[in-house]
Structures are given as structure tokens and as C-alpha cells.
């Protein structure tokens, strides 16, 4: 009994130092989320991604017509409106589809001694385009388009009748765009175009060679 009592006393003495202290709290888990860093703004503009260009300007358009037994020509000023939509497979290089339009009123038409001064002429080009920037961050660019062309001219063979000739054509341009916002630029360009169009009719075939030159203001999203 004395031996058992002695062991019990030793156990109590060994536990005594911890009896006067409270149990330590369990460690806490930090569930807070650190604040996100502010987005990094672009330090410079780059021509990449979606491409949208709208051109508006004035110019001149001239056509030579082969009417079979006769020839004719027309010339005058035009108002141009273009729409180009595409993408950028590589920085500074855009490709897509283009719709180029030029409309002129009061064109002069000379045909076999007959002269008309109130003729309406309209040239439309639809097809693929490519537009490349010398520097993907800069504004100088050159481009071109090819595709289907349609030329509508009034009073060419029959008075008060519009002949529509179809064929192929192309255009080339060069200009400069200045950045005005993150994705927007405004500039100007010089555009030259041409087309070969024909029409078959009972009164005879018509073939036209057309050339145009214009100065245009342009708005670009790129």
C-alpha cells in the first residue's frame, strides 16, 4: 500500500505544474483574401484585334465606254463612302471584307457629238482587303482591295435609262491614322481605284474602263 501511495503522489506532483494554467487556444485559420492589384494599363497603342474602318471623302471618277459602233466617256466629281471590317492575324496587318462606294451627280458624258451634263454615275466594289501598318504602334499604313465591281451610269445609250455594268475592280490606298482613344484613331488617306465592267444587251454590248482618285477622312477602331 505504501508503494502504491508513493506512486500516486509522484504522478500528482508531475501533473501539478500544468494544473494552474489554462489550455492553449487552437490556432486560427486566416480566410481573408488579399486585394487584387489594379489592372495594368497599356503604355502604348497597338494595331491588333478587331478592325473597323469607315471612310468618307470626295474625289473624281472617269470612264471610257465602248458601245460597239460608238464610244463615249464620262467624268466628274464623286462622293465616296467605304466600310471595311476584319481582323488582325498579326500585329499591324489587317485583313477582311471591304465595301467601297463612289457616287457622282451631274457628270459630263460625251458620246458621238452628243454632250450631257446631268448624268448620274455610281461605282461599287465588294471584296477582300488587306491593310498593313509600317509600325504596329504607328499610324502610317497602306492597303488594297480587289473584288466584284458594278458601274451604274444614266443616259448612256437610252435617255432616262440606267445601264448597270458588272465586272472586276480593285483599289489601293495610303494614309495616316492618329490615336484619339485606346482603340480609336482618326486620319486621312488617298485612295485610287479602277474597274473593268461590261453589259450585254439587245442593243449591243457595253464595256467600260473606269478610274477614280479620292481624298478621304477615316475613322478606325483597331
Mind listing the pLDDT tens digit for each residue in 11-62?
555 555 554 454 556 666 766 666 776 665 555 689 999 999 999 999 999 9
Range of the domain at 183: 51-221
pLDDT at 19: 47
CATH number at residue 206: 2.40.160
Helix, strand, coil content of the chain in percent (nearest 5): 10, 65, 30
> With 80 as the cut, is the pLDDT of residue 139 above it?
yes
pLDDT at 36: 72
Contact 165, 208 (CB under 8 A): yes
pLDDT at 74: 86
* Total count of domains within the chain: 1
* Mean pLDDT in residue range 169-177: 97
* Mean pLDDT in residue range 126-131: 98
| Whole-angstrom distance, CA of residue 147 vs CA of residue 135 | 27
Mind listing the pLDDT tens digit for each residue in 156-169?
766 667 889 999 99
- Is 17 among the domain residues? no
Nearest residue to 157 (alpha-carbon basis) of 208, 196, 222: 208
pTM: 0.76
Contact 145, 139 (CB under 8 A): no
- Is 1 among the domain residues? no
Amino acid at each position: 500500500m505504501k508503494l502504491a501511495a508513493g506512486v500516486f503522489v509522484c504522478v500528482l506532483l508531475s501533473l501539478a505544474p500544468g494544473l494552474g494554467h489554462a489550455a492553449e487556444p487552437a490556432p486560427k485559420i486566416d480566410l481573408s483574401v488579399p486585394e487584387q492589384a489594379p489592372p495594368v494599363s497599356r503604355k502604348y497603342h497597338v494595331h491588333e484585334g478587331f478592325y473597323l474602318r469607315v471612310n468618307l471623302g470626295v474625289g473624281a471618277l472617269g470612264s471610257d465606254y465602248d458601245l460597239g459602233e460608238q464610244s463615249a466617256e464620262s467624268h466628274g466629281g464623286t462622293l465616296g463612302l467605304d466600310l471595311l471590317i476584319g481582323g488582325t492575324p498579326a500585329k499591324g496587318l489587317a485583313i477582311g471584307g471591304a465595301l467601297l462606294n463612289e457616287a457622282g451627280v451631274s457628270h459630263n458624258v460625251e458620246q458621238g457629238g452628243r454632250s450631257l451634263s446631268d448624268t448620274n454615275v455610281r461605282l461599287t466594289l465588294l471584296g477582300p482587303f488587306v491593310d498593313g501598318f509600317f509600325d504596329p504602334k504607328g499610324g502610317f499604313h497602306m492597303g488594297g482591295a480587289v473584288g466584284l465591281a458594278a458601274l451604274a451610269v444614266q443616259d448612256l445609250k437610252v435617255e432616262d435609262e440606267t445601264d448597270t455594268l458588272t465586272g472586276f475592280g480593285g483599289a489601293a490606298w495610303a494614309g495616316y491614322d492618329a490615336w484619339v482613344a485606346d482603340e480609336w484613331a482618326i486620319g486621312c488617306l488617298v485612295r485610287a481605284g479602277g474597274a473593268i465592267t461590261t453589259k450585254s444587251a439587245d442593243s449591243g454590248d457595253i464595256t467600260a474602263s473606269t478610274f477614280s482618285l479620292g481624298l478621304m477622312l477615316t475613322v478606325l477602331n483597331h
